[in-house]
Structure 1
Amino acid sequence: MRQLAYLIAAVWLANGLFCKVLMLVPRHAAIVARILGPAHAGWLTRLIGLGEIGMAVWILSGIRPRWCALAQIGLVLTMNTLEAWLAPDLLLWGRANAAFAVLFCLLIYYHTFSGARPATR
């Protein structure tokens, strides 16, 4: 089950580091600009990316895994709801992104709450 933790952390790390901090996917900054305003979109996008990198570190740390999973699920659902409502034209698959978000949340839920994962800290 540790492989699932690596996979989930890799999603957060890739989106945070490559898409937002390094700005290799400009669409992310455009989404942030649309939702939070264009004046500070660059540094807000990078700040969000740093938060996503922090989430990857938290996942790999194994500290408070249930709180971590709940935070991830809440963030993913909140982010995707806002994006689908305020910037659907900027999403890779439009409103269909929601299906991938739900699948990702189900994977997080399964990994943490299915009983297949040993409890840690």
Structure 2
Amino acid sequence: MHSIAITFPSLVLIRSSVAAVWLYEGLWCKVLGRMPSQVDVVSAVPRFGRRLGLPFLRALGVVEVGLAVWVLSGGAPGACAIIQAGLLILLNVNGLLWARNLIHDPAGMIVKNAAFLLLVWVCGAMPGGRL
């Protein structure tokens, strides 16, 4: 059996991949409202409802866009990874607690987000600082 060597992706590619996820989720899905099911999920949280669900979702989208910018900037990558992990875990736990029946594939969501968190962690742990 032959071994095929591949190179590790560049730091800019890893950061761009992580930032693209936050930008898609924040800007496209939440700020621009292109994923209406996310409003339903947030509105299912007690005391939120539709009245607070949509403004909260838009504010969360702005935070996620900010995370994309932070990831791309390369500033404090370890802290950035910890904040991303904390937010993603918090969002997933609350989604499963309050709106599990509205999430079309809860197990798939967990698997995909676990893989994304690994990429976030690699991005935060790689030396290189600002690009």
Normalised by the size of structure 1, how large is the TM-score?
0.89
Counterpart position of 2:113:
101
In structure 2, what residue type is equivalent to 1:28?
A: Q
Counterpart position of 1:38:
50
Q: Is the 8 A contact 2:25 2:64 kept in 1?
A: yes
Q: Deviations over 1:55-100 (max 9, x none)?
A: 1011111111110000001111111111112111222422431111
Other structure's SS at 1:87 match: helix
Counterpart position of 1:4:
14
Out of 16, 29, 42, which is 2:26 matched to?
16
Uncovered stretches (5+) of structure 1, i.e. residues with no partner: none
C-alpha displacement at 1:112, in angstroms? 1.9
Counterpart position of 1:112:
124
For residues 84-95 of structure 1, what are the structure 2 equivalents within 5 Å?
84-95=96-107
Other structure's SS at 2:41 match: helix
Q: Quote the RMSD (CA, aligned, Å).
A: 1.6
**Deviating more after overlay: 102-111 vs 18-27:** 102-111
Normalised by the size of structure 2, how large is the TM-score?
0.83
In structure 2, what residue type is equivalent to 1:12?
A: W
Q: Tell me which stretches of 4 or more aligned residues in structure 1 moved more than 6 Å.
A: none
Structure with bigger gyration radius: 2
Aligned residue pair count: 119
Q: Is the 8 A contact 1:84 1:98 kept in 2?
A: no
Counterpart position of 1:47:
59
- Counterpart-to-counterpart distance in 2, 1:112 and 1:106: 10
**Percent of aligned pairs with the same amino acid:** 31
Q: Is the 8 A contact 1:34 1:87 kept in 2?
A: yes
Q: Is 1:77 equivalent to 2:80 in the alignment? A: no
